[in-house]
Amino acid sequence: MLRAMSSPWTAIDPLGEALYILRMSGSFYSLCEFTAPWGLVLPPMRDVLMFHVVTDGRCWLEVDGMEPRPLQPGDLALVPRGEGHRLASEPGVPGPGLFNLPREAISERYEILRQGGGGVAARLVCGVVRFDHPAAHHLVSVLPRMIIVAAASSPHLDWQQSTLRLMADEARALRPGGETVITRLADILVIQAIRSWIAEDPAAQTGWLGALRDPRIGQAITLIHREPARAWSVANLAHEVAMSRSAFAARFVELVGEPPMHYVARWRMHVARTWLKEEGATLGELAHRLGYQSEAAFSRAFKRFTGVSPGAIRRPPETTYDRRLAAAGC
């Protein structure tokens, strides 16, 4: 049975639990030391979040279909859904693909990239991370295509500036163990950036994130996430959160946008996808762990909700990125 790790406050804070389970894995980090003119093309990467921290100099971030965004020292940019994008000294400057650029390996998960024409210097810390828990995948899926936490517009974010200063110092000095410090700080920055967006962006007040803020519906969602194999019904979910059956069902649909039992079934399939891809679980194991009477019943439910059979979700052929993460022990 899948149970989320919880901190002392998550029992009364479903949104806090959703953030708490943003445990990162498959992380890989690069220190980029570039001189103008320069450009870098980052390919799409499946099921990951990419981020960039500008520690010195300036650059531009370009995501297809969106206006190029300037990044200044102290800015933090997230591309939550692993979309392909570009970094450059100026908009439109061409550059090599990420995997075609010479690199200096510092450790299994940390490297230095250098390129450019000898002009104005820029230094960035860039990273690629995956998340372990299915709820974390769900949270990331509802984030916008790009999140930028700008230092100039957020002077009250003292945590960000102090963390960035320490990261910049480590990036410049490259002292023994510096890559460990940088990767830990980067993890903190990513989670804090998501927290800041949730707190400040009106889009985070609606839909699934908004439902997590509701004292009773948020509690129900947390229970579903923690115990996907439990024999849930509208009646027992309503009982758990001290609501009448009809009032609970109506409120759930209003906030989440679908009936409670549809959400339960879809969540089970979301968990199943994760176990299929990450653990290579068998159909029998999945049926048992998710409360289905037989493999056939599980397979029918899986295909109904995902449109494909469980066998089609097994680990796909490795990409260049996957091979590099595998080589790094991820």
What pLDDT is attached to residue 97? Answer: 92
Whether residue 302 lies inside any domain: the answer is yes
- For residue 177, give the CATH number of its domain: 2.60.120.10
Number of domains in the chain: 2
CA 86/CA 94 separation, integer angstroms = 9
Best CA proximity match to 310, nearest among 293, 322, 298: 298
Same domain for 135 and 86: yes
Tally of CB atoms within 10 A around 104:
12
Best CA proximity match to 42, nearest among 146, 182, 197, 193: 146
Same domain for 237 and 88: no
**What single letter denotes the amino acid at residue 54?**
V
Q: Around 302, how many Cα atoms within 13 Å sit in the side-chain half-sphere? A: 25
Boundaries of domain holding 57: 19-201
Q: What does pLDDT average to in each consecutive run of 10 residues of the chain (330 residues)?
A: 40 67 70 96 88 92 95 91 95 92 82 94 89 72 88 64 74 70 77 80 81 90 89 96 97 93 90 79 85 88 85 58 48
Whether residue 12 lies inside any domain: the answer is no
Are 146 and 61 contacting, i.e. CB atoms less than 8 angstroms apart? Answer: yes
Same domain for 270 and 227: yes
Same domain for 238 and 125: no
Q: What is the pTM of this model?
A: 0.72
Number of continuous H segments (helices) and E segments (strands) in the chain? 12, 11
Considering 184, 201, 218, which residue would you say is the last residue of a domain? 201
